[in-house]
Chains A and B, each alone.
Chain A
Amino acid sequence: MVKLKNKIENLPKKLTIKQVVDENQKTKTFFFNEDIDIKPGQFIMLWLPSIDEKPFALSYKKPAAVTVELKGKFTKELFKLKQGDNLFYRGPFGNGFTASEKKTLVVAGGMGLAGVSLLVESLKDPRVIFGAKQKSDLFFTERFEMDICTDDGSIGYKGFATNKLKQLLKHEEYDIIYTCGPETMMKTVFELAEKYKIECEASLERFMRCGIGVCGSCACGNKLVCRDGPVFSSDNLREMNDFGIYAKLKNGKKTSLQEYYKWRS
């Protein structure tokens, strides 16, 4: 809730790049010159003037950093930035993950690992499954202890993270599963969590504009990913008919997730 009295604006604030680290061939971590007080699962809107503004999870908070894969126009411009260059941010926005003291499991797919990095650090002995297409897509392998899965088997378990999860749940018990990654993966994670009656929290992604719960661009069912989410609990996920099926394009047209990902890539 934003209070009107004594309120301050939420205009973009300046960040300076302190260091750029190559994580793999197409992924970099941009460390900034300051800390950002953020809850795991919340996001910031990063602004490159005259280009665009996009939502990102922080992969570190002291100092703040984002870990980004080179993908579209925005990331292409972001990748041109060097130490000492400026960019801007608004936020943090969104709800964040619920902290747990119990036995936790984190399932991350691809860049979703950047979205759960602060969460993994905040949990006590979480089990982490990290799925990627191939060995060259991996990052943070030194930072976290993880069960690595690759689609092509170039390292670790050969197959999807969800297959690994299926095996694991047969003989291990968890109190909560957190997940972030491609939505089809998260949908399967959620279904498995339901089957084993484990609480689940998934961090969703939709095309986002305002970030503050007014424009409706990121609607998923009757929820706003930017403000009701981006993290949704099992109770929400059960009722979100669009979860794992539909997403909106920039012009607002509701389309299949496949179409949506085709447009985003």
Chain B
Amino acid sequence: MLDLSTGIAGVKLRNPTILSSGILGTSHELIKRVFENNAGAVTIKSIGPVPRDGNNNPSVIDFGHGLLNAVGLPCPGYKNMDIEFNELSKIKEPVIWSIYGSKIEDFVNITKYIIKYKPKIIEINISCPNKEKGMLFSQDKKSAAKVTRSVKQVAEKIIVIPKLSPNVANIAEIAYACEKAGADAINAINTVQGMVININAKKPVLYYKKGGMSGPAIKPIAVKCVYDIYENVKIPIIGTGGITNGRDAIEMIQAGASAVGIGSAVYYHGINVFKKIVREIEEWMKENKYTSIKELIGIAHG
């Protein structure tokens, strides 16, 4: 009997696949559909302090080795989302509530507001490259720690997970600072900054010009970041970046992830990618005679 269940700081996941923030998580109907397709957990599209339209198009493009996006955190604003929040609170499976802000106060206010909907897990998005000040808090350990501590103070028993940016010199040191500040887990990585220029248009393709890369192109970057973080923290890691199949997921878990974020793979394989990845993990475990996914966490170290 194969045991694919894993945990994030005490919250049990039936399998290690987690829908990443910014992909499909715009409504409870879509989120339920992702769970029906066997995701272990689902992260909602980040909730921000005020209504925000995001960027014009093109905002997501396939550049051949992954996606480049600058959607720009569109959001109705947390005060206009009660109907949606209420629906989210009824979902039994683990929903991760992603939040963003331009100042610490924003993160704190949103956390205070959503507490009444009893979220089990809050992800603090301090690493979006597609908004002015979007990466402000993930650029150095002090800022990352400060926002983590501030959110954790009001979140209390709710699990708090900062999502970190790879666009830094030393991600492990930032993860360590977050752990010390009370983070219950770490999600790494957010997108890698990039740009694509159309040489006939003589212009960047994204309306926002620069964007965040995801998908297969960034997997080695993500694996390296997770590996480094694993050596520096004791809290669990959600490994995110370029996972499109079971082997990728196993690789990330061997690097030290307790669970894996899945985003761009939805583009390559559709919403049932979660079923596919879980099936492929199972096949690999059978072939290699592992019974529990937990045995694999971090085994590439040492």
Contacts and interface: CB of A to CB of B under 8 A. Distances in A.
Contacts of B54: 209, 250-251
B291 interface: no
A110 B69 CA distance: 33
A241 B87 CA distance: 15
A8 B244 CA distance: 17
Contacts of B271: 213
22 contacts: A1-B270, A2-B268, A2-B269, A9-B62, A11-B205, A12-B58, A49-B198, A49-B203, A50-B203, A53-B56, A212-B60, A213-B270, A213-B271, A214-B263, A214-B264, A215-B71, A216-B45, A219-B26, A227-B270, A248-B26, A253-B76, A253-B80
B24 interface: yes
A209 B75 contact: no
Interface string B58-78: 111111110101010011110
B59 A252 contact: no
B205 A252 contact: no
Interface in B1-37: 22-27, 29-30, 32-33
A221 B28 CA distance: 9
A8 B61 CA distance: 12
Interface in B32-47: 32-33, 45
B23 A251 contact: no
A254 B83 CA distance: 10
A7 B65 CA distance: 8
A170 B227 CA distance: 69
Contact of A222 (B32, B59, B61, B264): B32
Given A215-B22, A216-B24, A222 B29 contact: yes
Nearest to B66: A9
Contacts of B264: 214
B200 A253 contact: no
Nearest to B64: A9
A216 B64 contact: no
A233 B274 CA distance: 25
Contacts of A125: none
A227 B196 CA distance: 24
A216 B269 contact: no
B113 interface: no
A38 B266 CA distance: 23
A123 interface: no
B152 to A, nearest CB: 27
B52 interface: yes
A241 B23 CA distance: 21
Main secondary structure of the interface of A (DSSP, over half): loop
B264 to A, nearest CB: 7
A251 B53 contact: yes
B80 A212 contact: no
Given A251-B52, A252-B45, A214 B60 contact: yes
Contacts of B51: 251, 253
Contact of B267 (A86, A213, A251): A213
Nearest to A10: B62
Nearest to B23: A214
B231 interface: no
Interface in B194-208: 196, 198, 200-201, 203, 205, 207
B226 to A, nearest CB: 21
B64 A12 contact: no
B56 to A, nearest CB: 5
Contact of B26 (A9, A213, A252): A252
Contacts of A52: 56-57, 207
Given A10-B61, A216-B25, A254 B84 contact: yes
Interface in A193-233: 209-217, 219, 221-222, 224, 227
Contacts of B75: 251-252
Contact of B76 (A54, A211, A217, A252): A252
Contact of A47 (B53, B58, B244, B268): B58
Closest 10 CB pairs of A and B: A9-B64, A216-B26, A53-B57, A210-B60, A253-B76, A222-B29, A10-B62, A49-B203, A49-B201, A222-B33
Interface-central residue, B61, B216, B266, B269, by most chain A CB under 10 Å: B61
A9 B58 CA distance: 15
A58 to B, nearest CB: 18
B43 to A, nearest CB: 12
A207 to B, nearest CB: 10
